[in-house]
Amino acid sequence: MDYREEMKRLREELNENAYRYYVLDEPTMSDYDYDMKNRRLQQLEQEHPEEIVPDSPTQRVGDKLKDGFSPYRHEVPLESLQDVFTAGEVEDFCHRMEESLDGNAAYSLEPKVDGLSVALEYRDGVFVSGGTRGDGRVGEDVTENLRTVRSIPMTLPEKLPRLIVRGEVYMARSVFEEINRRREIEGKPLMANPRNAAAGSLRQLDPKIAAERRLDIRIFNLQLAQGRSFATHSETLDYLESQHFSVIPHKTLLTANACLEEIHDINERRMSYPYDMDGAVIKIDRLSDRESLGSTVKCPKWAIAYKYPPEQKPSKVLDIVVQVGRTGVLTPKAVLAPVHLAGTTVQSATLHNQDYIAEKDVRV
């Protein structure tokens, strides 16, 4: 395939999925497939910069505003993170940090919650407003829906003139499963996965619906604090915990090996957390180091997100049925014993690859 055709196809697929993921909350591909296609497009754009177009998904960060919400302008931008997928890329990042900081790097590492990123603002210790991330600079004002999230404190012990924090709104797996059980009994369509359930609930125009969904939050960054100063990211999280926020668990580490071990340990423990996660975030801990390192146009240079590979779980083929497509094409489909995987319940799989079927000896 000509590289121009491949780039065009990738742009169309990624933009279509982004619309369904962020606006309709109905994703058409897995996060892993999206990441791999996005990385391929980035590679092609690096090789052929003359082919970069304004509507490429690599040229924007975030999602579009949904009708019905007022714009929410972030005084401190909510930056995205560079994704990495291998241990070698983690080691490369740590090596760059060591070089840039004269061998004196310290890291803060935490789980990456798979939810919806928001900013919360407090004035004189009182919650006044909150918004979704949007494109990092302008999001949606969802203040009234955020008021229904019981883990968000409405007042703080210390009455700073102004405080802005960033967190990830999510729906606990137990709540998601309970809501779906109820929807099944009522004959309503089931929610796809906790991430989309959380995003759809927070962006309901009726706050009563958001309240019924029992959303939760983990705070992972201090954006602004008037009247307070801190030396490290870890200090800010400890302070926010003292202010009654539900803070992300975190560890301070000094080497790439220690980071890789913790990434592995988090993955081993991932089902013990109440929320779904899709990776781990590594950040430089000292705030002065972050300032000296700075950011690119889209991402801070002092942080990365390690994305876990797709989950794998065994299931059982209960039946094989044949679907007739619009053009008369016949496609066999395996009916599976339901299994919870990557935040959703998988009950079927298309058997379109005859070589794979023969190699794995797929049968009832």
Each domain of the chain, given as residue ranges in start order, spans: 3-59, 71-307, 317-360
pLDDT the model gives residue 58: 78
| Token output for 118 | 């928001």
pLDDT the model gives residue 163: 98
Structurally, what CATH architecture does the domain formed by 71-307 represent?
2-Layer Sandwich (3.30)
pLDDT the model gives residue 307: 95
pLDDT the model gives residue 342: 58
Q: Is 66 a catalytic residue?
A: no
pLDDT the model gives residue 62: 45
pLDDT tens, N- to C-terminus, the chain (364 residues): 788 999 999 988 888 887 777 556 677 788 888 889 989 999 999 999 888 887 787 765 544 555 688 999 999 999 999 999 999 999 999 999 999 999 999 999 999 999 999 999 999 999 999 999 999 999 999 999 999 998 999 989 999 999 999 999 999 999 998 998 898 888 888 888 899 999 999 988 888 888 889 999 999 999 999 999 999 999 999 999 999 999 999 999 999 999 999 999 999 998 889 999 999 999 999 999 999 999 988 899 999 999 998 777 888 999 988 888 777 878 788 899 988 765 567 888 878 777 778 888 888 9
| DSSP β-bridge partners for residue 300 | 295
Among the listed residues 8, 37, 64, 112, the single catalytic one is 112
Please give the CATH topology (third level) of the domain spanning 3-59.
Helix Hairpins (1.10.287)
Residue with tokens 């796809």: 192
| DSSP conformational letter for 311 | P
pLDDT the model gives residue 298: 82
Q: CA-CA distance, 99 to 97, in Å (whole number)? A: 5
pLDDT the model gives residue 29: 83
The residue type found at 70 is: S
Domain 317-360 has CATH 2.160.20.60: no
| DSSP conformational letter for 232 | B
Which among 131, 101, 143 is positioned nearest to 223, based on CA atoms? 131
pLDDT the model gives residue 67: 66
Residues 198/192, Cβ–Cβ less than 8 Å: no
Q: Are the folds of 71-307 and 317-360 the same?
A: no
